[in-house]
């Protein structure tokens, strides 16, 4: 056999192995290998990813996916595009932005999940009542390559503020932000996540906190970015003082890439809804995951396997 033919056989074998990781024959999912881009520990993405990884070992019966810690939505999307992960969570704004870049593997949605609320958390002893009051303070705007950082950039720019010039800016993930707040090294931090987020709940038991109201800033931001909505975040969500606040809300999607077969995608969606009680136990935000709204994944196309599941479910 010639050297050229040998190389072609080797490439073919490698491609076959890669394809095997995301396809299944009939109902045999033993050879499916998945990595989930899960965000940072303490966040809702991570809690739901862990619960899903466990649930999918039962239904559809795949080997437990690897749950990978990441910086958040932007990082998750990059990993899906490069096939470092095959499943991951993303907020709709980050997914919309990534859709403009056609590089790498195509993104598909399995389901719309819960909604994220922008939570601008400040120490109660900090004399800040609005966004502009953060000038000169030590503020974390989220980890680089996170959805939090994307939202923080957009909000601050819309309000005529510069992170580098107006803030003593820090780029921290959620665990680092809560630790810094607890240790007195941070005055405020941005977080976008489901409500309640466990890490914020835990922080509120040891540090007196408030949330800033963003109602005055949202009309201009939403005009520029229609992907965002607004909602009221009740103080009771974290048992905080200061009353309810108006803030930004954005949808979340469970995404995959184009290496996944229709059979596996359909089975994962079925397993997702079968596991809802387990997801609620991991995070109360999962109560809002509902099969009829799960198809609302614009601007990301539903995976054909997911679409088949919803079609068969008469959605």
Q: Is the dihedral of CA 193, 108, 55, 143 positive or negative?
A: negative
What region does 228 belong to: left with phi over 0, alpha with psi -120 to 50, or beta? beta
- pLDDT score of 28: 75
What distance lies between CA 131 and its chain's CA centroid?
A: 24
- pLDDT score of 154: 98
Give me the domains of the chain, ranges plus CATH numbers. Answer: 3-113+252-312 (3.40.190.10), 116-250 (3.40.190.10)
- pLDDT score of 62: 97
Decide if 37 contacts 79 (C-beta within 8 A): yes
100 three-class SS: coil
- pLDDT score of 1: 44
What region does 151 belong to: left with phi over 0, alpha with psi -120 to 50, or beta? alpha
Largest CA distance in the chain: 77
Query: The pTM is what?
Result: 0.87
Decide if 147 contacts 228 (C-beta within 8 A): no
- pLDDT score of 11: 35
Query: Rounded to whole angstroms, how far apart are CA atoms 160 and 27?
Result: 55
- pLDDT score of 235: 85
Query: Rounded to whole angstroms, how far apart are CA atoms 134 and 11?
Result: 56
Residue-level pLDDT, tens digit, the chain, 315 residues = 444 333 334 334 333 344 444 555 446 798 999 999 999 999 999 999 999 999 999 999 999 999 999 999 999 999 999 999 999 999 999 999 998 887 899 999 999 999 999 999 999 999 999 999 999 999 999 999 999 999 999 999 999 999 999 999 999 999 999 999 999 999 999 999 999 999 999 999 999 999 999 999 999 999 999 999 999 999 889 988 778 999 999 999 999 999 999 999 999 999 999 999 999 999 999 999 999 999 999 999 999 999 999 999 987
- pLDDT score of 23: 55
Contacts of 282 (CB under 8 A, 6+ apart): 47, 48, 50, 51
- pLDDT score of 22: 54
Two structure tokens written together for 113: 């999940």
């Amino acid at each position: 056999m010639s050297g050229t033919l040998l190389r072609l056989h080797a490439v073919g074998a490698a491609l076959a192995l890669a394809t095997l990781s995301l396809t299944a024959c009939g109902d045999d999912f033993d050879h499916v290998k998945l990595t989930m881009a899960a965000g940072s520990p303490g966040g809702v993405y991570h809690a739901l990813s862990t619960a899903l990884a466990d649930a999918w070992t039962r239904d559809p019966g795949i080997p437990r996916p690897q749950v990978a810690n990441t910086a958040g939505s932007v990082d998750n999307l990059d990993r899906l595009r490069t096939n470092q992960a095959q499943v991951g969570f993303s907020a709709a704004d980050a997914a919309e932005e990534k859709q403009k870049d056609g590089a790498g593997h195509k993104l598909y949605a399995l389901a719309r999940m819960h909604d994220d609320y922008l939570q601008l958390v400040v120490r109660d002893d900090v004399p800040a009542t609005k966004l502009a009051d953060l000038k000169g303070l030590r503020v974390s705007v989220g980890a680089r390559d996170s959805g939090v950082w994307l939202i923080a950039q957009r909000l601050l720019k819309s309000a005529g503020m510069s992170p580098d010039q107006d803030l003593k800016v820090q780029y921290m993930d959620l665990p680092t932000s809560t630790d810094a707040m607890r240790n007195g090294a941070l005055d405020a931090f941005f977080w976008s996540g489901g409500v309640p987020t466990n890490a914020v709940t835990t922080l509120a038991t040891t540090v007196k906190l408030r949330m800033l109201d963003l109602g005055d800033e949202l009309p201009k931001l939403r005009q520029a970015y229609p992907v965002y909505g607004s909602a009221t975040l009740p103080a009771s969500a974290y048992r905080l003082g200061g009353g309810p606040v108006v803030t930004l809300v954005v949808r979340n999607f469970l995404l995959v890439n184009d290496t996944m077969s229709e059979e596996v995608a359909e089975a994962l969606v079925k397993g997702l809804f079968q596991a809802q009680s387990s997801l609620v136990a991991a995070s109360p935000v999962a109560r809002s995951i509902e099969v009829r709204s799960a198809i609302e994944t614009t601007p990301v196309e539903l995976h054909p396997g997911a679409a088949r599941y919803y079609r068969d479910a008469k959605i």
